[in-house]
A and B are shown apart, each in its own frame.
Chain A
Amino acid sequence: MAETAAVQNVITKERSVSNPTRGNARAEGRKDPWSQLLERVGRHQDRSAYRELFEHFGPQIKYYALANGLSSHAEELVQEVFVSIWRRSSTYDWRKAAASTWIFTIARNQRIDMLRKMRRTSRETPVETEELWQIPGENENEPVTSLHRLMSERRVRDSLRHLPEDQITVIAKVYMEDKSHQSVADELGIPLGTVKSRVRLALNKLKVILQDSSA
């Protein structure tokens, strides 16, 4: 099954991510290699670092585009995302988001943007995509750092491999296939309540739901 492969994939990549910086100074130790590469792009317009990011994230983003139904525009999306990464890299701050999280939000926004342009019936754009969906760290008023934020990606990655497949399937459909909880339920032929409880169980395990949440 794709999901099993997916989980193994996470494990393999997780290893390669967490090992190299072990012996470094404390602050550096929190920075994963992708974030270091992205910083090099931002500070020095380092093209070899940029290429490494492209080789790692480019194929992920292309699959993301395909899964989202952007078949004939998939490569265009990858291009847009990488041009955007280059433009914005000087604003990237590893204390505000891991590189992969930051890149995911850029891919998400570029996808939304592309769909909006394709659907548009009028010339007017009353609101920019990024007024609605923000890239982490781009709000000047946001306090600089929280440990929660630094740790969240590592924690999510560590916990994900312990989730049962039915929970991962539901979450993958929401994130990768542009599906609401309702359309996931329709597609899998299960009640909406079941979809919601799978999501809730998963998020509880990933500790996304904070103690006092109203969910």
Chain B
Amino acid sequence: MTQHHPDTHTLMEYSAGNLSEPYALCIRLHLDQCAHCRSQVDTLDSLGAVMMESQPSADVNDDMFERILGRIDTETATDLEVHTEPKVRTAYSNALERMLESDINDLPWKRQLADVSVMDITHLFPDQHDRVVLQKLTAGGKALEHTHRGRETTLVLQGAFADNNGVFGQWDFVTLDNHDTHKPVALEGDDCITLSVLTAPLKLTGTFSRVLNPFIR
């Protein structure tokens, strides 16, 4: 059971379709596993429908319906069959793994500290400005203390970590900002793998800050 959920404002921006792709991915992965938030998004989608209905409407061109029928007829003759086929599902269990074309445990991780590995996947999200990083903290391992510049949204994909704010398990959703300094420790058991979206690089408070990649949890 997930304990830490995205806040309602974020869910509303998701439902309205206003979140950037990396944030939408975090929400989507959480929703896949969280009935509580799914039910909120259902209601928010209904709110969207009612908002759309309650606004003024705009006249459409007289011949538009005929044009739509024309397109449908062409498609029915050609490729409608293709569209109605169920999508081919790969072996991967979620949208992230399908993007990566890999199980998250089999990625070419870059080790940065004894217990910390990272993989920057920002390139999978072209045309937007957030940094997107996968981080792996070895089971039982410790990260350096660090603080945040800007906002960092993290989704736990596997395992669990603990810091001064509590314990965060699989599919838990965490948002940290400027004022949060923390020193996460992975729980024993599985390696803890997280997906983070960063609006600005985070900075280390410890002494190693000069030599390290800024994306360290």
Interface residues of A (CB under 8 A from B): 2, 5-7, 9-10, 13, 47, 51, 54-55, 58-64, 66-67, 74-75, 78-79, 82-83, 86-87, 90, 97-98, 100-101, 103-105, 107-109, 111-112, 116, 119-122, 124, 126-127, 131-134, 136, 139, 146, 148-149, 152-153, 156-157, 160, 168, 171-172, 174-176, 178-181, 196, 199-200, 203, 206-210, 212-215
Known contacts A62-B58, A134-B28: does B17 contact A215 (CB below 8 Å)?
no
Known contacts A133-B17, A178-B18, A179-B18: does B61 contact A98 (CB below 8 Å)?
no
Measured CA separation A111–B39 after assembly (Å): 23
Checking A79, A179, A181, A209 against B68 with a beta-carbon cut-off of 8 angstroms, the contacting residue is A79
Query: Is B64 within 8 A of A111, CB to CB?
Result: no
Measured CA separation A179–B18 after assembly (Å): 7
User: Which residues of chain B (78-127) have a CB below 8 Å from chain A?
Assistant: 80, 83-84, 95, 98-99, 124-127
Known contacts A59-B60, A105-B45, A120-B127: does B51 contact A176 (CB below 8 Å)?
yes
Measured CA separation A146–B80 after assembly (Å): 31
User: Which residues of chain B (15-60) have a CB below 8 Å from chain A?
Assistant: 15-18, 21, 24-25, 28, 31-32, 36, 39-40, 42-60
Instruction: For the complex, count residues of B whose C-beta is within 8 A of A.
Output: 59
Query: Is B40 within 8 A of A59, CB to CB?
Result: no
Query: Is B60 within 8 A of A62, CB to CB?
Result: yes
Sorted nearest first, the 9 A-B pairs with minimum C-beta distance are: A59-B57, A215-B8, A104-B49, A153-B46, A100-B49, A131-B95, A62-B58, A63-B58, A108-B17
Q: B210 in the interface, Cβ–Cβ < 8 Å?
A: no
Least CB separation from A111: chain B residue:
B17
Least CB separation from A115: chain B residue:
B17
Q: B12 in the interface, Cβ–Cβ < 8 Å?
A: yes
Least CB separation from B5: chain A residue:
A214
Task: Sample 8 A-B pairs with CB under 8 A, ordered by A number.
Answer: A9-B55, A60-B52, A64-B52, A105-B45, A116-B127, A152-B42, A152-B46, A181-B13
Checking B13, B15, B32, B68 against A180 with a beta-carbon cut-off of 8 angstroms, the contacting residue is B13
Chain B residues positioned under 8 Å from A172 (CB to CB): 51, 54-55
Q: How many residue pairs bridge A and B at CB < 8 Å?
A: 213
Closest chain-B Cβ to A198's Cβ sits at a distance in Å of: 11
Checking A58, A63, A178, A199 against B17 with a beta-carbon cut-off of 8 angstroms, the contacting residue is A178
Checking A10, A126, A179 against B53 with a beta-carbon cut-off of 8 angstroms, the contacting residue is A10
Known contacts A54-B68, A60-B52: does B43 contact A206 (CB below 8 Å)?
yes
Stretch of B69-77, B139-147, B188-196 on the interface side: B69-77
Known contacts A58-B60, A208-B8, A214-B5: does B17 contact A101 (CB below 8 Å)?
no
